[in-house]
Amino acid sequence: MPTPLARTLLPGLILILTLPPVAAQERAAERVEALLAEMTLEEKVGQMTQVTLTAVAAEGDHPRGGVLLDPVRLREAVVERGVGSILNVLGASLSLDGWHELLGEIQRLATSETRLGIPVIYGIDFMHGANYTREGTIFPHNLGLAAAFDRDLVRRAARITSEEAIASGLPWNFSPVGDVGRIPLWPRYYETFGEDPFLAAEMTRAAVEGMEADGRVASTLKHYLAYSGSDVGRDRTPANLTERQVREEYLPPFRAGIEAGARAVMLNSGEIDGEPVHASRYWVTDVLRDELGFKGVVVTDWMDVIFLHTRHRVAPTMKDAVRMAVEAGIDMSMTPYDYAFADLLAELVREGTIPESRVDASVRRILTMKVTTGLLDAPTPDPAARALFAAEASRETARQAARATITLLQNDGVLPLRRGARVFVGGPAAESLTALNGGWTYVWQGTDAFEFPDGVPSLLDAIRSRAAQTTFVPGATFSEPLDIEAAARAAAGADVAVLAVGEDAYAEWVGDIRDLTLPEAQLSLIEAVQATGTPTVLVLVQGRPRTIHRVADRAAAIVMAYTPGMEGAEAIADVLYGEHNPSGRLPFTYPRHPNALDTYDHRYTQTLDTGFDRGRGGFDPQFAFGHGLSYTTFAYRDLLLDRQQVGPGDQVRVHVTVTNTGDRAGADAVLLFTRQHYASLTPPVRRLLGFRKVHLQPGESETITFSVPVRRLAFIGRDGQPRLERGDFDVMVGDLTDTLRVTP
């Protein structure tokens, strides 16, 4: 006996497949309205509820790569409560079979034992590839991808991630992160595309384009808004920012992601200027929906409705919390363990506090996401899509991505290493696969090495496979000294020492720190090895720029590896041995001191020195935003603007010729900056206006053109709106500068 949904499905399936886009949207809307019209209030508030897998899983042990469900709790969630979504893994990643069995069980219940047969939409955090499906393709995290300054690379990585989500049967990905990394202490810094709003916006756009390309996976912009703007740099702490700052520094990636078609937004668990975002009608409805035109699903973050009552303390009761969050504009509550949200929302509707039409609006958006991902027509994983999973070509893309992120920060000529050189390897990241991959890898914290597939090389393995002779003494863990003297003795006998230092994996608040300095044990190890006189190469494997000023000047070379992913060890070794010419550039300012956290787009007053003499030494980073060396050299010439005077509605074309003046092929990220001479609010000393990656053979030149809408020169004024002021602007590429005059 076909369920009502089946009656609704079949015509839709046939029709949708043959309709042009607009008609398909109309048909989708008709299907949604038809379903909505049949729903009870309980069914509606059920759709607005999202529970985590733990809430429906059996107690006790589970098969490796699989999950045992608790039939009673699963029935309660899916049949009795009719939850709209389930999310997450239990603790560790599932195999493809594990996902297919789990989803098959959930959807069988949802489509055959509920009145309307609406499938559950399963949400997952594929943050850097298919990190919750065993053997999936794992990419560098966003901070490293940003260092490649290559939109197409980000798009391709996102597309592969999306394909492997489809193969796993997962239609909703809680990615990409659109947060801007303005505070390097922040534990989720590696999830950002760096400190520049424009760079982050362009990469967020590319990620959404890649993720949404197939249509079967809904992307999620997170965490709206200014989650990364906390004053003290710890997770989920207040961001005391003005609205102007929020709009200038944190909003651009969300605007770009919405323009690119993201179908969901996840909210920031924190607060902006004293207002929890989950309770902010202004940010969630007036700005996100009315101003930015977002029409998709707004999902809360973990327990964040409850936290309005228990943490933020703006809701005296749980019922107040539910009311405030729904009135602010949320569509789905990641409760994620219970059904109080649904019960209280139904109560609020019945008592007339919240109109049922408000609930309908949310359910409409949730059902639309289920229709447009194809979930209503194909609730269970498509076995044929397994062919998309972990393809060799995808793994090669991950290796290209890892190589492209590696950023050579300093090199006295010790790199590339000679294969015949006797190499000493030390440091806590030398053998660590978890450090290379960072958080959100097989397990939430990424710290479970047991979960990694066999045969994945560590950096030590990758060096051993290249060096004539390798000795290894760790010398320190990430936090504690081991036998530093033994490490120094071993280093003394080598031609070169490679120390892999930085951080092990972490996610969210677990990664909170109170000092950006590289831990003492690691600094001591580095100093002991440097004291032997053996040239020392520092490889920084870390999710944020831990300060190293005590040892940086004496390092023969410094390589920033970020968290390069499963192919990271080979990629780093490819650079160390010159098999790949590094082209990464820092997407953030690398601080010299733990309390000198100025970003590159600082104000002039931040350049003034400390102490009596106010010289220009105030802004003195270890390495500047955009810094990155190559094994070849590039020269810029003929910076030309197609016009020196422009009006607000114009485009300006900036031409520059790049030449590879060295003796080996290489890639260069050409960065275009601007500087407003005077403005009604203090102008930043520089702002990124454009970037382009060029690949050049020795002696080859290429003239590139940036087409920049003049409105991009606007800043956010006191009124929170873009403000373009007339006057002179420098336009800069490398050491070249030209002047542009904006007239009214």
Per DSSP, helices labelled H in 421-519 are: 433-437, 459-464, 484-492
Least CB distance from residue 299 to ligand GLC, whole Å? 9
Token duo for residue 228: 């990364």
- The C-alpha atoms of residue 283 and residue 300 are separated, in whole angstroms, by 13
Q: Which is nearer to ligand GLC, 125 or 196 (CB)?
A: 125
Q: Which is nearer to ligand GLC, 271 or 301 (CB)?
A: 301
Least CB distance from residue 235 to ligand GLC, whole Å? 8
Q: With CA atoms as reference, report the closest residue to 562 among 553, 571, 552.
A: 571
Q: Which is nearer to ligand GLC, 286 or 508 (CB)?
A: 508
Q: With CA atoms as reference, report the closest residue to 698 among 671, 657, 667, 670.
A: 667
Place of tokens 């219940």: 109
- The single residue of 179, 196, 301, 331 carrying the catalytic annotation is 301
- The C-alpha atoms of residue 140 and residue 124 are separated, in whole angstroms, by 18
Least CB distance from residue 512 to ligand GLC, whole Å? 14
The amino acid at 653: R
- The C-alpha atoms of residue 74 and residue 81 are separated, in whole angstroms, by 10
DSSP one-letter code for 139: P
Least CB distance from residue 227 to ligand GLC, whole Å? 8
CB 685 within 8 A of CB 607: yes
Q: Which is nearer to ligand GLC, 227 or 729 (CB)?
A: 227
Least CB distance from residue 157 to ligand GLC, whole Å? 18
Token duo for residue 185: 């202490």
Q: Which is nearer to ligand GLC, 149 or 174 (CB)?
A: 174
Q: Reduce the DSSP state of residue 165 to 3 states and report it.
A: helix
- The C-alpha atoms of residue 507 and residue 186 are separated, in whole angstroms, by 10
Least CB distance from residue 268 to ligand GLC, whole Å? 9
Give, to the nearest 10 degrees, the angle between helix 356-372 and helix 21-38.
Answer: 130
Strands across the sheet containing 536-541: 407-411, 557-562, 536-541, 496-502, 422-426, 469-472
Least CB distance from residue 171 to ligand GLC, whole Å? 15
Q: Which is nearer to ligand GLC, 223 or 692 (CB)?
A: 223
**Exposed / middle / buried, residue 743 (Cβ in 10 Å: 0-12, 13-18, 19+):** exposed
Backbone angles phi, psi at 4, to 5 degrees: -50, -35
Least CB distance from residue 50 to ligand GLC, whole Å? 9
**Exposed / middle / buried, residue 480 (Cβ in 10 Å: 0-12, 13-18, 19+):** exposed
Place of tokens 């972990």: 390
Strands (E) located in 193-242: 220-224
Q: Which is nearer to ligand GLC, 122 or 631 (CB)?
A: 122
Least CB distance from residue 196 to ligand GLC, whole Å? 22
Binding site residues, ligand GLC, CB under 6 A: 87-88, 125, 174, 222, 266, 301-302, 508
Q: Is 461 a catalytic residue?
A: no
Q: Which is nearer to ligand GLC, 307 or 631 (CB)?
A: 307
Q: Which is nearer to ligand GLC, 125 or 451 (CB)?
A: 125
H or E element at residue 715: strand 715-716
Strands 264-267 and 220-224, bridge-based pairing: parallel
Q: Which is nearer to ligand GLC, 508 or 520 (CB)?
A: 508
- Which residues does residue 57 pair with via DSSP β-bridges, in sequence order? 69
- The C-alpha atoms of residue 733 and residue 636 are separated, in whole angstroms, by 8
Quick one: CA dihedral 321, 440, 540, 196, positive or negative?
A: negative
Give, to the nearest 10 degrees, the angle between helix 520-531 and helix 484-492.
Answer: 30
Least CB distance from residue 388 to ligand GLC, whole Å? 23
Query: What's the residue count for the chain?
Result: 744
DSSP one-letter code for 510: G
Positions marked active-site: 301
